[in-house]
Amino acid sequence: MKFRFCGRSGVQMPVVSLGLWHNFGDVDDFKVATDIVVSAFDQGICHFDLANNYGPAPGSAETNFGRILRNELASHRDEMLITSKAGHEMWQGVYGDGSSRKNLMASINQSLKRTGLEYFDIFYSHRYDGVTPVEETMQALIDIVRQGKALYVGISKYPLDLQQRCYDILREAKVPCLVSQYRYSMYDRKVEGGALKCAADNGSGVVAFSPLAQGLLTDRYLNGIPEHSRAARETGFLQKGQVSEERVAASIKLNEIAKKRGQSLAQMALAWILKDERMTSVIIGASSVEQLNNNIKCIDNLDFSAEELSQIEDILKDPVLSF
């Protein structure tokens, strides 16, 4: 594994991290979930990304991860960076959703209980909810650190016009924002419009979620929508309509470039993000150990020639590809 420092901090992250949004809920196979986590850890993926609502059922990914930790990796806690988040709908009633202090404080207690952890390494505000003043949300994050429930804090998907204010509040409280999490892939490049620069200027690390566009930037959909794939599953967030003809055609062309580089499409898509040193890590999802093993190998070639980059840009220039 390769590691990068997370922004201007002393903590390093593996350039490939594992996310538990899909494939680790109660609807999934616990043995496969265990094998993926253990295999990831054995290969240096020591950063695991959770959120209160991951499942389904919501909360079950945290519960299952806690079981895996206790069963398989109990003595390795200090070798891991474990994160969780709060901010999306989680329980009934007005306090079970959003970015209020009430939600964040209740949520971290629930997440600690579900995972059986004493603390999270990083706790995120999962989103700006459009209403709660960022002062309230950031103060809750600061207090979570002061209470010893998390070591560091992060923000996820914050709009550009609020991002700087978050960094300022956290910095003034001497709880700097360790990491900012944004969706970033060849098919979603909005972060290049300012968020990445703002994070880097403020010393925050940046991690990319859904770097494979939920599977579209792999060979998964090159010949239709396979049974059991995320787009085929009722509980999957990738809609069948998002597997559009244009995206599949573009992925086929990108796959040709990947082959010439001696990489799978997934490996090239991850390397393409990591070529930018401001990116700390890509948070991948995987439904099998095979996928995980394939993706990890992206680290063998993170460099692109000018010609490869220009061929890729040429394919990506069609706006219908963007989410």
Contact residues for ligand NAP, defined by CB under 6 A: 19-23, 49, 126, 156-157, 181, 209-215, 218-220, 229-230, 266, 283-287, 291, 294-295
Give how far Cα 143 sits from Cα of 9, 120, 169, 212, 254, Å: 20, 14, 12, 35, 46
Taking the complex as a whole, the smallest distance from the CB of residue 291 to ligand NAP amounts, in Å, to 4
Helices 30-42, 289-296: inter-axial angle, 10-degree rounding: 20
Residue closer to ligand NAP (CB basis): 275 or 305: 275
Residue closer to ligand NAP (CB basis): 25 or 167: 25
**DSSP category for residue 315:** H
End-to-end Cα spacing for the chain: 30
Taking the complex as a whole, the smallest distance from the CB of residue 54 to ligand NAP amounts, in Å, to 7
Residue closer to ligand NAP (CB basis): 25 or 285: 285
Residue closer to ligand NAP (CB basis): 146 or 275: 275
Q: What tokens does 242 get?
A: 């998002």
Inter-residue contact 185 to 218 (CB < 8 Å): no
Taking the complex as a whole, the smallest distance from the CB of residue 306 to ligand NAP amounts, in Å, to 26
Give how far Cα 177 sits from Cα of 143, 156, 174, 208, 243, Å: 13, 11, 9, 16, 35
Taking the complex as a whole, the smallest distance from the CB of residue 312 to ligand NAP amounts, in Å, to 17
Phi, psi of 192 (to 5 degrees): -70, -15
Residue closer to ligand NAP (CB basis): 137 or 295: 295
Strands (E), 169-259: 177-183, 205-209
Phi, psi of 22 (to 5 degrees): -110, 160
Taking the complex as a whole, the smallest distance from the CB of residue 126 to ligand NAP amounts, in Å, to 6
Residue closer to ligand NAP (CB basis): 86 or 170: 86
| Per-residue three-class SS string for 19-48 | ECCCCCCCCCCHHHHHHHHHHHHHCCCCEE
62: closest CA among 118, 17, 113, 96? 113
Residue closer to ligand NAP (CB basis): 83 or 148: 83
Residue closer to ligand NAP (CB basis): 19 or 55: 19
Inter-residue contact 180 to 155 (CB < 8 Å): yes
Q: What tokens does 193 get?
A: 């419009």
Taking the complex as a whole, the smallest distance from the CB of residue 307 to ligand NAP amounts, in Å, to 25
Taking the complex as a whole, the smallest distance from the CB of residue 20 to ligand NAP amounts, in Å, to 5
Taking the complex as a whole, the smallest distance from the CB of residue 24 to ligand NAP amounts, in Å, to 8
